[in-house]
Structure 1
Amino acid sequence: MAVQTALVTGGASGMGRATVARLLDRGFDVVIADLNEEVADTALTELAQDGAGERVSFVRTDVSSEPDFEAAIARAVERHGTLDVLVNAAGVGGAFGPLTDIEVEDWDYTFDVLLRSVFIGLKHAGRVMRAQGTGGAIVNFGSIGAQAAGVGLQPYSVAKAGVEHLTRMAAYEYAPDNIRVNAVSPGIITTPLIGLTEADLQPLLGTVQPLPVAGVPDHVAGVVAFLVGEDARFITGEVVTVDGGIMAAGPQLRDLVNNNPALRGYVGVNRGSTGVKATIHKKLDVAEGSR
């Protein structure tokens, strides 16, 4: 089987950088499209030391610029012959503050980098993959901020919600050409973007995040590598949440409104407004029962 080529935006650091390493390990040639040349140079040096050699290269790219993105895709095809995979991992924290105070220019910048760039990538990668006639795989980066309010910054979260729905729209449109489009939705991951260390995350582990493991870029990169690989060849239009169970746990009210007897150690059944009283089978020590 011929070597496949992947273009990874934001591939110089964080989850993008981890994705580049994973894809190289899986035998892909990889082109890193990133705005930060200094960080990219460091990444290339480290990857070369790990044996990547000529299989990885860098092209400076402003992903919100259509000419820049189109040139990066052309570079990948020129250098390696095909474009088989696109990973839209580039991101910024974007605008922050109350909605009544956020500047329109800052809002637009956030959407340009997070959502406009994904559209541009889908547009031009789709054209190339369709012309090649051999299918392809695209993975976009969403966020758990897209799935509920109060999880992330407002402009960031709304833009990521757009990314996740655009993923479904593109998956539907590109399916006849065997181009699969999926997304990953990371939770709280230790990356330069959020500036948190594993130690910073300790108060969240086993509480807000049920899984008592700090999220690191490689957790997300592994899912991306799966989605672009042969084992996922029948998966398209999906958003895979990679968050240690944060969204599964829901709003985390716990027992703040005294509505969950299990969290106070009781075992039984609540029969609601049927007129039959609740049954309490036993009372556990809090340490023994559920959190």
Structure 2
Amino acid sequence: MHLADKVALVTGAAQGIGRAFAQALLEKGCKVALVDLNVEVGKTCKDALDKQFDAQRTIFVPCDISNEEKLKDAFKKIVHHFGQLDILVNNAGVNNENNWELTIQTNLISLIRGTYLGLEYMKTENGGTGGAIVNIASLAGLMPAPHQPVYSASKHGVVGFTRSIAMASSVGKYGVRINAICPGFVNTPILQSIDKEENMGQYSAYKENIRDMMKFYGILDPQLIAEGLIKLLEDDKLNGEIMKITTNQGIHFHEYSPLPFHSKMQ
């Protein structure tokens, strides 16, 4: 996909990985819809980007993605504003073992809903021009995270959903490629949540164990995750792939055994 003049919607775009995504997409010539729950930080993000890029190339849409109607309205507003939707990055997420229902709702249910909304606008059979969806998971979606079992479950769900809906897109000829990124620990505000008892609940007693894991695995810069995003978007051959990003191996892909029936479904 050539990214110049494409319209991208990024959830959780005001800070952290989402902010790096917006920056990278704008540098490639995209128009970007910044969707975030935090109005103050969202406006600050747009103001900063407006100093680097044409202000007409971004729009900030405050939205609680866990609210179905508000998410639908956000998509509608963005498509009406830019006239199209080519790229969706389901990035918004939380780490809250105490309020685990919120974690499942935000990280998985809202991501699934966002994917379906994106497909409604992008599928060729609906009059769309196709596009690409990238879902942000985590290495915790590929391996156990004993101090974050619900967060891990939500990210495992993202991986399974992404691989399955990507195959559905291929079989149904939606014209939309769907992939996921599984980074390790990333230097973002969500990383600080491990210090908050209101987030970690019963697992707050194990925060030193998580810090030890961070020292072992290292902490990534959001800019590297953005490089992974651009790679997934620009390579039209990638669909249903799970990209891993780590400090020791950088950007690479998770390898699965071939599915014996996959070729029959192409």
Question: What TM-score, normalized by structure 2, do the two folds share?
Answer: 0.80
User: Counterpart of 1:208 in structure 2: which amino acid?
Assistant: F
Structure 1 residues 157 and 204, CA gap change in structure 2 (3 angstroms): closer
Aligned to 2:216: 208
For residues 113 and 202 of structure 1, the distance between their equivalents in structure 2, rounded to whole angstroms, comes to 24
Is residue 109 of structure 2 the alignment partner of residue 140 of structure 1? no
Structure 1 residues 115 and 33, CA gap change in structure 2 (3 angstroms): same
Structure 1 residues 132 and 23, CA gap change in structure 2 (3 angstroms): farther
Structure with more contact order per residue of length (Cα contacts < 8 Å, sep ≥ 6): 2
Structure 1 residues 16 and 151, CA gap change in structure 2 (3 angstroms): farther
Aligned to 1:153: 148
Is residue 117 of structure 2 the alignment partner of residue 120 of structure 1? no
Structure 1 residues 52 and 152, CA gap change in structure 2 (3 angstroms): farther
For residues 223 and 127 of structure 2, the distance between their equivalents in structure 1, rounded to whole angstroms, comes to 31
Q: Which residue of the other structure, out of 167, 185, 188, is the alignment partner of 1:172?
A: 167
Instruction: Determine if contact 1:142/1:164 at 8 Å carries over to the other structure.
Output: yes
Is residue 111 of structure 2 the alignment partner of residue 109 of structure 1? no
The Cα of 1:80 is off from its aligned counterpart by 0.8
Q: Which residue of the other structure, out of 58, 64, 85, is the alignment partner of 1:62?
A: 64
After superposition, the C-alpha distances for 1:65-100 in whole angstroms (9 at most, x for unaligned) are: 11111111111211111100000000111124xxxx
Aligned to 2:196: none
Q: How does 1:242-257 map to 2 (within 5 A)?
A: 242-245=245-248
Structure 1 residues 94 and 54, CA gap change in structure 2 (3 angstroms): same
The Cα of 1:148 is off from its aligned counterpart by 1.6
For residues 65 and 24 of structure 2, the distance between their equivalents in structure 1, rounded to whole angstroms, comes to 22
> What SS does the aligned partner of 1:157 have?
helix
Aligned to 2:199: none
Aligned to 2:27: 25
After superposition, the C-alpha distances for 1:121-141 in whole angstroms (9 at most, x for unaligned) are: 111110110123321100001
After superposition, the C-alpha distances for 1:103-162 in whole angstroms (9 at most, x for unaligned) are: xxx221110000011111111110110123321100001011112223651111100000
Instruction: Determine if contact 1:144/1:151 at 8 Å carries over to the other structure.
Output: no
State which structure, 1 or 2, has the greater radius of gyration over its C-alpha atoms. Answer: 1
> What SS does the aligned partner of 1:208 have?
helix
Identity between Structure 1 and Structure 2 (%): 32
Is residue 190 of structure 2 the alignment partner of residue 185 of structure 1? no
Aligned to 1:227: 232
> What SS does the aligned partner of 2:69 have?
helix
> What SS does the aligned partner of 2:53 have?
coil
Unpaired runs of 5+ residues, structure 2, are: 194-209, 251-266
Instruction: Determine if contact 1:136/1:178 at 8 Å carries over to the other structure.
Output: yes
The Cα of 1:186 is off from its aligned counterpart by 0.9
The Cα of 1:245 is off from its aligned counterpart by 3.7
Select between 134-143 and 63-72 the one with higher mean Cα deviation. 63-72
User: Counterpart of 1:182 in structure 2: which amino acid?
Assistant: N
User: Counterpart of 1:60 in structure 2: which amino acid?
Assistant: P
Unpaired runs of 5+ residues, structure 1, are: 97-105, 248-291
Question: 4+ residue runs of structure 1 moved beyond 2 angstroms?
Answer: 201-205
For residues 219 and 104 of structure 2, the distance between their equivalents in structure 1, rounded to whole angstroms, comes to 28
Aligned residues: 229
Question: What TM-score, normalized by structure 1, do the two folds share?
Answer: 0.73
Select between 143-152 and 125-134 the one with higher mean Cα deviation. 143-152
RMSD: 2.4
Instruction: Determine if contact 1:145/1:157 at 8 Å carries over to the other structure.
Output: yes
